[in-house]
Amino acid sequence: MERPGDPVTDDREPHRLAVLGAGVMGTNITTLALGHGVPVTLIDVDQARLGEASELIARQLRMARLMNALPEGVETGELRTGAAVEDVVDATAVIEAVTEDAGIKAEVLAKVSAVVRPGTLIVSNTSSIPIDELAASVPDPGRLVGVHFMNPTYLIPTVEVIRGPRTADSAMAAVTALLTAVERRPIEVNDGPGFVTSRILHRMINDAVRVVEEGRASAESVDALMQGCLGHRTGPLRTADLIGLDNLADSLRVLHERTGDEGFRPAELLVCMVSEGKLGRKNGRGFYEYGEAS
């Protein structure tokens, strides 16, 4: 049964996407949408970051095409950038992809929900924060859906989709239509800290960090064992670098605070690496060294 509020529309064509946040996930999501012909308005209050975003997205589009990860014959969507949420008023869907901080996300969601048209799909891209917690900041909680894209979004075809307790059926239909338009496979899960992927993966990565911290094995050995013995594609510590060590630490804190499970308390080595500016692939230094930050 449809929940109260304006039904979320999913029949307006073409899709016009707004992405809030020009960080790693925001630019990744933008790349995916543009590569499938969907126009995107990318919003970020940090002008320096926004200025770098267009070049980064262009590089990612080139990489995605080289890897045959985008459909042939589809004209790249138009990219617009801006610093104000008011610039998203004409979007058919908005994806919030700011830092993994519940307070910041709630503030951004409240601002954008006040300017978009009634019935506009609102999506929070989060790896750990319960959707119903964020729904308190939205006047119509029925139109808020959670998604958890994996990095890089243009190479990983499956997306975790989180239905909050108050999420409307029409919102679920709308997010499915949007993901289908960019050739992603949505898998619906119920709400809760870390959902499915982060609840399982982040604990494993945190334990892998502790193994290195204890001097039991090097990062290379941990990853080689997890790859060769257990079939993990990249290894947990390369995965940590890809996620971003600061993002990982933030997600672990969310999980620790909301579950009380000490296994989610960020390992001291992880905290130290972040404080030293070792953030992973995005700045070229993490558990591994990278030739070029990405």
Give the catalytic positions in this structure: 148
Q: Which two tokens stand for residue 197?
A: 């992927």
Residues 6+ apart with CB under 8 A from 152: 28, 31, 60, 64
Alpha helices by DSSP H, 23-46:
24-35
First to last CA, the chain: 44
Assess contact for 237 and 270: CB atoms under 8 A.
no
Q: Which two tokens stand for residue 282?
A: 């995005």
How far is the C-alpha of 57 from the C-alpha of 61, rounded, in Å?
6
Assess contact for 101 and 250: CB atoms under 8 A.
yes
